[in-house]
Structure 1
């Protein structure tokens, strides 16, 4: 009676390694092994690269939202005026802003004037989403004041107007040029409402990192915006910035209480929640699709092992007659398949990580080879393809690939273990 051996003994690894080495007479087996290895590598690479781009895109999108927009906006319910429009103007905005600023977790509460106007410069016209904001509050906007691509002197904001980089290009203006703002809600006369037109010096050009913001947004000093829109001693809303934007839902009830009766809030999640939910759905679908791709690549291991078992039938019969147990045979062929999965997974992780870490030069090279214009910020909203490599994404891709590789390997290895040695040697 044959003695029992420890699982995955040295001789089992030796036999598996001999079977994995290429031989001229068994070129088909060697070819299938390489196909399996390349398939697993590419599938894991694609999975990690996609997960990294997904994480980077979400982080870039949320970062530009939080850097250039209010985390929470406080409005007034408003009153209906004689013309039937809802007037949401705030007269006690200074006191309300002070109360909101005292809420734990709030970093800033700034009154704003907001309106849509027409901008004109250098013979060109463009619609502008205009924000009236105090100079100190403007300088504290991380996505605007902290822009690396900014032009001009932010300390001169009180002397003119700040434009988004895309808007400045559209109007053909630069630092020191003048633009005219045209508001349809101007002076009321006996002949109707006359549009209000004012000219301002461009003192600062910013880039918020999102094309839609840079293309339409401009900032005007708060006092000047009050005069321009005939809103002396009033504000349209209060912009609130908090320390933990991701936890905005927890602080919203406290902000409502501090704002007082007749107030309502609108958070950044309310404004972009639909897009974020769409991103989550897309992320889940992409992960499932790429998981299927990994499964297809892992199935190549099955094909290679089946061919290996068929070619090694005589060897299996001899080993069994020499006393090798079914378990040892199973482990030998399991090692053959699992080794391919492990090697392919490792190579895929390395390639995917390199792609995520060096995506900028890789993408620049692709853009150069394609003649430019591969990435259109007007369509995608951001200026470059982002990627963030997270340990959780790498571990999930690795676990998926190894798990599938190990599972699919069991079936042909089990078939080899159950092979009858008499039948295997009968026609040899």
Structure 2
């Protein structure tokens, strides 16, 4: 008579019966429930943490790319000596042919658009309030194409009114206490040259647009000004400080570095968004790996309870094992029965953990609201985190990693007690029965 195939129906039935322990075997049942709950909580914590980390990174990158250029091309300042007179001349890094440079950069394959920019530091005041700000001088056409800045859902004012005034971040507007139509004074140390030295330049501008880029540091420090006005205000007549470049694939900006420098000319230098934020993103990646390892240890500890429960189960079922062996059950079949006992616990706990983790990730806003209410507010400080809320992004790869880890550990820890049950001598098991 041929032997039944492995993992036959009767093996599943015996394993499922053993898991439904009777009152006299309550210790086994308790250990099973502890194992199941521990695995579920561990998997849920792992999925929720990975979702929050992925959401934070995605939101951080989106705010960077949505409010900043993917790369900035500028010129290096150089010095040269006149061979006839011996005088040393310094050539500034100002871009005089910024229109031509912008056209050359825009012709590079993979570049979507370019924009000449004038930058400067100012002090913004309104009444008795003041705030330090960075001014970006751009054309109205380029300003209207900055995604995070011109979002109608988060901004106040009309884009068409930008040439008649300035656009400020919501953080500046809040700190200065201004609204659309109010005027603020901008004070720049780079003012007019007089016989007594350089005097600060003070101009007043109406606020025609208030934006929220989703980044606390941007909203609190950034002001946009029409390019011609910025050139006049910062003494940059007919020049630009740099040319901003936007590309199709920002994640692959490194591949365009050399073509952009060649298009910019001999003195061209480039600064990409990865140069400014790459170290922070790499730190996030390292933290993701560390968090996965730490939470994996928690899942491992939870799965170790399966071993404890199975050892108790094997001890309680010694008589049954002896009877099953004398009835013709092979060592392999006994091993598979107790392996299935642990596998059932791991699978059910993993599925429960996935459901719990997904529900938490999808309702992270409500969770943070509850935490804020309990803690009295301030649980999420945008001045520290940079973004205004805790995001979560569920990814299939993260769920698969958590499920794979949990099931692998659950299956591995069942091998030792299952082998112990399979190697039990039926004669010894029934000697005192």
Is the structural similarity TM-score above 0.5? yes
Q: Partner of 2:155 in structure 1?
A: 150
Secondary structure at the residue paired with 2:378?
A: coil
Distance 1:263 1:269 in 2: 18
- How far off its partner does 1:424 sit? 1.3
Describe the superposition over 1:258-316 as per-residue Cα deviations: whole angstroms up to 9, x where unpaired: 11211011111111111011111111111111111111111010011011111111111
* 325-334 or 86-95, which deviates more: 86-95
Distance 1:90 1:11 in 2: 81
Q: 1:199 aligns with which of 204, 227, 232?
A: 204
Secondary structure at the residue paired with 1:304?
A: helix
Describe the superposition over 1:39-81 as per-residue Cα deviations: whole angstroms up to 9, x where unpaired: 0000000111111111111101110110111101001012359
Q: 2:430 aligns with which of 421, 425, 428?
A: 425
Q: 1:112 aligns with which of 114, 117, 120?
A: 117
TM-score (norm 2): 0.96
Say if 1:117 and 1:84 are closer, same or farther in 2 by CA, change over 3 A: farther
Say if 1:378 and 1:83 are closer, same or farther in 2 by CA, change over 3 A: farther
Contact 1:147 1:207 in 2 (8 A): no
Contact 2:116 2:242 in 1 (8 A): yes
- How far off its partner does 1:122 sit? 2.6
Contact 2:104 2:264 in 1 (8 A): yes
Contact 2:124 2:130 in 1 (8 A): yes
Describe the superposition over 1:236-272 as per-residue Cα deviations: whole angstroms up to 9, x where unpaired: 0001111110111112211112112110111111111
Q: Partner of 2:21 in structure 1?
A: 22
Distance 1:115 1:140 in 2: 21
For the pair 1:303 / 2:308, whether they are aligned, the reply is yes
Describe the superposition over 1:298-344 as per-residue Cα deviations: whole angstroms up to 9, x where unpaired: 10100110111111111111111111110110010001000000000
For the pair 1:388 / 2:393, whether they are aligned, the reply is yes
Contact 2:169 2:218 in 1 (8 A): yes
* 279-288 or 418-427, which deviates more: 418-427
Distance 2:68 2:413 in 1: 50
For the pair 1:235 / 2:244, whether they are aligned, the reply is no
Contact 1:186 1:194 in 2 (8 A): yes
- How far off its partner does 1:427 sit? 2.7
5+ residue gaps in structure 1? none
5+ residue gaps in structure 2? 81-86
Distance 1:138 1:85 in 2: 33
Say if 1:321 and 1:3 are closer, same or farther in 2 by CA, change over 3 A: farther
Describe the superposition over 1:141-187 as per-residue Cα deviations: whole angstroms up to 9, x where unpaired: 01111252111112111011111111111111111111000011111
Secondary structure at the residue paired with 1:15?
A: helix
Q: Partner of 2:83 in structure 1?
A: none
Q: Partner of 1:79 in structure 2?
A: 78
Alignment of 1:15-414 (within 5 A): 15-79=14-78, 87-146=92-151, 148-414=153-419
- How far off its partner does 1:362 sit? 2.7
Describe the superposition over 1:117-162 as per-residue Cα deviations: whole angstroms up to 9, x where unpaired: 1110131011001111111100100111125211111211101111
Contact 1:175 1:204 in 2 (8 A): yes
- How far off its partner does 1:103 sit? 1.7
Distance 2:217 2:362 in 1: 27
Say if 1:282 and 1:86 are closer, same or farther in 2 by CA, change over 3 A: farther
Say if 1:84 and 1:293 are closer, same or farther in 2 by CA, change over 3 A: farther
Distance 1:406 1:220 in 2: 63
Secondary structure at the residue paired with 1:145?
A: coil
